[in-house]
Structure 1
Amino acid sequence: MVTAGRTLAQVSEASLLAEIFPFFPAREGVLVGPGDDAAVLVTSGSVVVTTDAMVRGRDWVDEWSTAADVATKAFTQNVADVAAMGAVPTSLVVTLVADPATPVDWAVEFARTLGGLAHELGVAVAGGDLSSAPADTVMVSITALGDLEGRKAVLRSGARPGDTIAVHGSLGRSAAGLLLLQQDASARAEGDGARAECVAHHLRPRTDVTAGPAAADGGATSMLDVSDGLLRDGSRIAAASGVCLALESVLLEPDLALLGEAVGDGALECVLAGGEEHSLLATFAGELPPGWRALGRVEAGQGVTLDGVPQQPRGWDHFAG
């Protein structure tokens, strides 16, 4: 039972693990889970591997983000990357590096939320690591594995002129939510409406991971997770494929309508450059699979355009900001 007020410095590593492990039950495909030097997994084909880290003060702030929020973001950004390759997420390895003054409650709530999300998708938490850190430092990292289940991985480099550019999910909501929180941290307590929806998406983004494998089966020629913004991530497909992604503003109207209610004139910039959305962006040579909507066409050339006007690859950059 968690006792309020305890810090990591007041418990042993073994005691903390004893509180966390129950949130990570055994799953099919994991022969040896948490507790040994390494996990033992069963694989039947090609394995997709990705990793992402989050640092307090850089990727989240405690003023409006809870441990559950951080766990949701860390989980989503990893499984979205797996799905963007056309694979099914299967297991995770988790690292927590924290100031010993960090409350035990924070670590336990992080683990409880992560375990719940993993259970929901049938993903195993196969192991990980704990480490102490300097004062005020908290960092979490997840490595996710996925199974292509016989599919060929969908890369960024397969887009061809004539393909349809499409998205599965929303655009700009996370960026709008961040703007609202930066203006007023109490915005997370709002009830219904566009503002609340954007704040909720920023704090706890979710991705329909079944859309990735479905897109691969449906003939996606390229695909990625929109983590750094439509323009920046779109430019990555354009560069890898040697093509131009020609976006049409009229096809962005569903996103702009909602964001206009939330952030007014800032809606377009949120849609074009907003990161941490974790929707899937792909190109298709034929008919779009269910749940995907068109954003434009792939053309000969290079870069990304909006209504024919070249766009700079704006969006999040880990070092340039």
Structure 2
Amino acid sequence: MATEFPARYTGPTVAEIGERATIRAILDAAPSHRNGDDAAVLPLPNPNTRTVVTTDMLVEGRHFRLDWSRAAEIGHKAVVQNFADIEAMGARPVAVVLALSTPGHTPVDFITELARGVGDRVSAYSADLAGGDLTGGEHVVVSVSAIGHLGGSLPALTLDAARPGQAVVASGRIGYSAAGLALLQRYGREQVPAEFSGLVDAHLAPTVDPGRGVIARAAGASSMTDNSDGLITDLGTIARRSQVGIDLADLAIAPDELLTAAGKLLGVDPWTWVLTGGEDHTLIGTTSKDAPSGFRVIGAVHRRRAGATVTVDSVPPVHSAGWDSFPGSGGGILDSETP
């Protein structure tokens, strides 16, 4: 089925003005002195600094719906999910490149708004949109690659560096994005009760505070990830890679009043969103020291033992499924009531 764009996007289409004019519109919407040549030339990082690279993709119908998401929110989300990966390594994001596939009947207004969303988000990190690519396709696909710098001699925050005796710490909300998705699935964007707008925003345009990963690394954290696939799934990855067990504190991760109210409205156990709902991009790590600034303690690391790899108050979690990219295994955010 052909992509249908909301009526708010008017004016000429990409096919009508052509590729070059569309690229000029992107450059105008998200200006950067590094963008617009055959390739971007980035300055060498400071001595004793390493380069960190990641890439991620948003596909229409799988990761966003045009009747829910505004173009700027799609651009915003594409940047955040990549910058969260950079931050989770303890690095500082410095640039992104954007690849966009879109149908010929795409309104140019949609493209420029998406580019503004990308530009606004990279600016919040003092980073640049350094280049990209534009091509035709049947549906809207947004692919972002992000570049970061890891300064100093401290090791990166990796998945295999959690150690028994450490605290598990988190920066950001847990479960909000999944709750927002459930509300959108039930009501659509326009009919979601106003008191739950914060949950919807958390799904459509998640945020990660700039610099949190850098702060955590400087403060002594050893491992870190971002909550993209679900709390139990992502912490389970750390536990398996580090060959440890992780026990979460019930009171530290319990659904707050807003999640509880949304669960009551929808008839859903809000613990499902906390334990299995990804795309919050909350930074979750382990440390032997005090919780870094902006982080809170949510659990502890222990020696690996028989039973569940990740527990809640020493009991296997009541919900443990997480995001999976392939529908046959029950994954996907738009084809499942609880991602």
TM-score, structure 2 length as denominator? 0.87
Distance 2:189 2:204 in 1: 13
Task: Report the counterpart of residue 215 of structure 2 in structure 1.
Answer: 214
Task: Report the counterpart of residue 238 of structure 1 in structure 2.
Answer: 239
SS in 2 for 1:202: helix
Task: Report the counterpart of residue 27 of structure 2 in structure 1.
Answer: 21
* Deviations, residues 102-129 of structure 1 (Å, cap 9, x unaligned): 1211111000121122122211110000
Task: Report the counterpart of residue 271 of structure 2 in structure 1.
Answer: 268
Aligned residues: 310
Task: Report the counterpart of residue 324 of structure 2 in structure 1.
Answer: 317
Distance 2:38 2:218 in 1: 37
Distance 2:190 2:256 in 1: 20
Shift of 1:35: 2.2
1:119 to 120, 123, 148: 123
| Structure 1 spans left out of the alignment, 5+ residues | 28-32
Residues 52-91 of structure 1: pairs in structure 2 closer than 5 A: 52-91=56-95
TM-score, structure 1 length as denominator? 0.92
Q: Is the 8 A contact 1:187 1:196 kept in 2?
A: no
Residues 35-184 of structure 1: pairs in structure 2 closer than 5 A: 35-44=36-45, 45-134=49-138, 137-150=139-152, 151-184=154-187
SS in 2 for 1:40: coil
Task: Report the counterpart of residue 30 of structure 1 in structure 2.
Answer: none
Distance 2:119 2:202 in 1: 20
Structure 1 residue 296 and structure 2 residue 307: aligned?
no
Q: Is the 8 A contact 2:169 2:299 kept in 1?
A: yes
Q: Which amino acid aligns with 1:171?
A: I
Q: Is the 8 A contact 1:166 1:282 kept in 2?
A: yes
- RMSD over aligned Cα, in angstroms? 1.8
1:307 to 309, 313, 316: 313
Distance 2:283 2:299 in 1: 15
Residues 188-203 of structure 1: pairs in structure 2 closer than 5 A: 190-191=193-194, 193=195, 195-203=196-204
Task: Compare 147-156 and 182-191 and name the one that shifted more.
Answer: 182-191
| Structure 2 spans left out of the alignment, 5+ residues | 1-8, 332-339
Identity of aligned residues (%): 39
* Deviations, residues 66-125 of structure 1 (Å, cap 9, x unaligned): 111111110110111100000010000000001112121111100012112212221111
Distance 1:301 1:187 in 2: 47
* Deviations, residues 209-251 of structure 1 (Å, cap 9, x unaligned): 3110000001111101111110110111001100111112121
Distance 1:43 1:276 in 2: 32
Shift of 1:188: 6.7
Shift of 1:263: 2.0
Q: Is the 8 A contact 1:247 1:297 kept in 2?
A: yes
Runs of 4+ residues deviating >6 angstroms: none
Q: Is the 8 A contact 1:180 1:263 kept in 2?
A: no
Task: Report the counterpart of residue 9 of structure 1 in structure 2.
Answer: 15
Distance 1:248 1:83 in 2: 24
Distance 2:118 2:101 in 1: 16
